[in-house]
Chain A
Amino acid sequence: MADVSLDRRPAGAAAPAPAPADDPAPVAEAVVTAKARPALNPARVLRGLGSGVNRIAAIVLFLIAWEVLPRLELVDAVFLPPFSEVVVAWQELAVSGVLWNHTQASLIRSLAGFAIAIAVTIPLGLILGWYKPVADFLDPLLELFRNTAALALLPVFVLILGIGETSKISIVVYACAWPILLNTIAGVKGVDPLLIKSARSLGLPPYRLFQKVILPAAVPTVFTGIRLAGAYSILVLVAAEMVGAKAGLGFLINDAQFNFRIPDMYSGIITISVIGLVFNALLLRLERRFSTWRTTQ
């Protein structure tokens, strides 16, 4: 381990929060938006706006516009049916159980990929972050992979793994792996050297140091990665489901559009938005819980 005395940051500068993988709109997401989302994506539009009451107000206004504009024939009601019609279609899909079947298929794939990514990349990231020379050596390669949009690799996955579940879950694993891996590495590398020094002064052996200092210090950064991965797991999957799937929300949207069941298509989109929002909110809460100690000014 390096001579930790080389750094003399004041205590106030603890937890420097390095999160290079924390940019919310990397290439993968852009691809999803461009390729796979024919119309407006309500969640994305909304997520950027205000907060609290404002946020609800903005959503209500948006839904009113969605209702009114087609009715006033300001937009073509065939391509954008009024929101109420979409709601009716959504209810029908829900009651018939069709919606649940697709949702279930998607969730299983997403969560499986997400879980595998977590299980594999956190230990890997911890190891890479701890052995700095290895991390420095691999860093350019990791950057390269991270910046290769997961969906650009979809044909490769399909080529090698076929169009079944394996390739779909694999692409989710791939997309989720990078933010978690890079954040874990950054979290371990970014531990305040003064804290390491402080623990070392108590004669802690390296493995205890890892357990008692490195791990807890890295947890918030790791969780940031997990939250990002959670978003990717849905974004990527939906796109993957539009290629050669027989179930899943991505399939539902694509299939509905193909058969001109436009309200159904929007029902699928709304379902995905809501799932994305809920998933993100859950992970955000989890992240907050594990980083209460972080000074958040």
Chain B
Amino acid sequence: MSQPKISIRGVTKTFSVRDANLGRPSQFTAVSDIDIDVRAGEFLTLVGPSGCGKSTLLDLIAGLTKPASGTILLDGEPITGPGLDRGIVFQQYALFPWRTARGNIEFGLEAKGVGRKERRARAAEFLDLVGLSGFADRYPHELSGGMRQRVAIARSLAFDPEVLLMDEPFAALDAQTRESLQEELLSIWQRTGKTVVFITHGIDEAVYLGQRVAIMTSRPGRIKEIVDIDFETREGDLRADAKFGEFRHHIWTALRDEVAAAQAHEREAVGSVG
């Protein structure tokens, strides 16, 4: 087997948090002992109950934070920090409010050292891709939530990273826009052979996009199960395939227990404070 693009081994991430009961900082384990490989060119979707540590895991892969223990390898090399080889779409978009939609998309290109003319052209291309050609000169606060999300997607695609880390990138979109962007993303992925790690709360979306779906447990997040989405063919309407329903049901069942556990956790946390 060839070398995985991303290799996560025994990764645990803890945060220091104030503890009301103890009155001093304590360690909070967000994800624990994560083991997963992402193959080069793979589309991996990641599902799990809210608060289980999906975004935390993405930050770790991005190199924005360091694990408390364990290792993360990118192309066999330990990750030392963030880099332009990985593009992130943050859950909260994180657009620069003083830059227009175009300016935001150009940001990554500037970081990469792309010349002014080509930046313009690329930005226009990707604005068009996400259906925002007419909004190039709008500031983020002049855009709707879904539009901002699309700008963030365009920004991460524009500088052409090998790995795309996407944190619920389509959450704020209407069904039609979401479907068309799902198509776009799949076609970009197929065309460019990028490796994609895609977090979502939508089981349908996870099955539809992912070659594999990784299911995380409730907090502290671990990988509970990895489901291979092995359709015989990806031609035609996947969602109408009988297997689609099976995958869907399988993941739904696995998640139900975790969500219940997560909710029990959170109630506990609230109870202990109040």
Contacts and interface: CB of A to CB of B under 8 A. Distances in A.
B64 interface: yes
B94 interface: yes
A204 B111 CA distance: 7
Nearest to A205: B111
Interface string A209-222: 00011001101000
Interface string A1-42: 001111011110011000000000000000000000000000
A201 B60 CA distance: 11
Interface of B, helix, strand, loop or mixed by DSSP? loop
A210 B94 CA distance: 17
A202 B64 contact: no
A3 B68 CA distance: 13
A289 interface: no
Interface string B54-78: 0110010011110000000000000
Interface in B201-227: none
A216 B139 CA distance: 14
B88 A201 contact: yes
Interface residues of B, number: 32
A59 interface: no
B94 A11 contact: yes
Contacts of A9: 92
Interface size class of A (residues with CB under 8 A): 20 to 34
A203 B65 contact: no
Interface string B148-168: 100000000001000000000
A272 B152 CA distance: 50
A203 B90 contact: no
Interface stretch (B95-103, B187-195, B246-254, B259-267): B95-103
A195 B139 contact: no
Nearest to A202: B111
Nearest to A296: B141
Interface string A49-77: 00000000000000000000000000000
Contact of A194 (B15, B86, B94, B108): B94
Contacts of A4: 64
Contacts of A216: 96, 98-99
Contacts of A295: 97, 141
A213 B92 contact: no
Instruction: Among B95, B96, B108, find the residue whose CB has the most chain A CB atoms closer than 10 A.
Output: B96
B83 interface: yes
Interface in A69-118: none
B97 A201 contact: no
B64 A213 contact: no
B84 interface: yes
Interface in A214-270: 216-217, 219
Contacts of B95: 11, 198
A278 to B, nearest CB: 28
B97 A202 contact: no
A285 interface: no
B74 to A, nearest CB: 13
Contact of B94 (A6, A198, A203, A208): A198
B96 A5 contact: no
Interface string A168-211: 00000000000000000000000000110111111110001000
B61 to A, nearest CB: 11
Nearest to B62: A201
A137 interface: no
A15 to B, nearest CB: 6
A288 interface: no
A116 B93 CA distance: 40
A195 B111 contact: no
B64 A293 contact: no
Contacts of A212: 107, 110
B98 A293 contact: yes
A201 B92 contact: no
B142 to A, nearest CB: 9
Interface in B102-152: 107-108, 110-111, 139-141, 148
Given A5-B65, A293-B141, A195 B96 contact: yes
A204 to B, nearest CB: 6
A213 B96 contact: yes
Interface of B: 15, 55-56, 59, 62-65, 81-84, 86, 88, 90, 92-99, 107-108, 110-111, 139-141, 148, 159
Nearest 6 pairs of A and B residues by beta carbon: A198-B94, A295-B141, A11-B92, A293-B98, A202-B111, A11-B93
15 contacts: A8-B55, A10-B92, A11-B148, A14-B97, A194-B90, A194-B94, A198-B94, A198-B96, A199-B107, A201-B88, A203-B84, A212-B107, A217-B97, A294-B97, A295-B141
Interface of A: 3-6, 8-11, 14-15, 194-195, 197-204, 208, 212-213, 216-217, 219, 292-295
